[in-house]
């Protein structure tokens, strides 16, 4: 399942804080990396481990509420 794949790497990450983008810099809480285009920095920051795990959990809750319909009805 793709959700399992999405959750695998963040679970093994030591990062626990929210990543942030400031211009061309991404603050990974333990180190800042610079030289990104600002749009790329924002994109990277939006994939911090804590956020990915929250999104996976939310998607799992949505799937848990889904009741498959049979094709013959």
User: What's the start-to-end Cα distance of the chain, in Å?
Assistant: 27
| pLDDT score, position 30 | 81
Residue 48 is given by DSSP the state: -
| pLDDT score, position 37 | 93
pLDDT tens series, the chain, 73 aa: 688 888 886 766 655 567 889 999 998 878 888 999 999 999 988 888 888 889 999 999 999 998 777 766 5
> Is-contact 21 38, C-beta < 8 A?
yes
Residues 6+ away with beta carbon under 8 Å from 42: 21
Predicted model pTM: 0.64
Dihedral pair phi/psi, residue 17, rounded to 5°: -95, 175
């Amino acid at each position: 399942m793709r959700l399992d794949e999405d959750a695998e790497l963040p679970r093994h990450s030591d990062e626990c804080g929210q990543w942030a983008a400031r211009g061309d810099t991404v603050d990974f809480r333990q180190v800042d990396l610079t030289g990104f285009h600002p749009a790329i920095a924002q994109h990277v920051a939006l994939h911090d481990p804590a956020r990915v795990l929250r999104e996976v959990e939310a998607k799992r809750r949505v799937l848990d509420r889904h009741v498959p319909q049979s094709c013959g009805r």
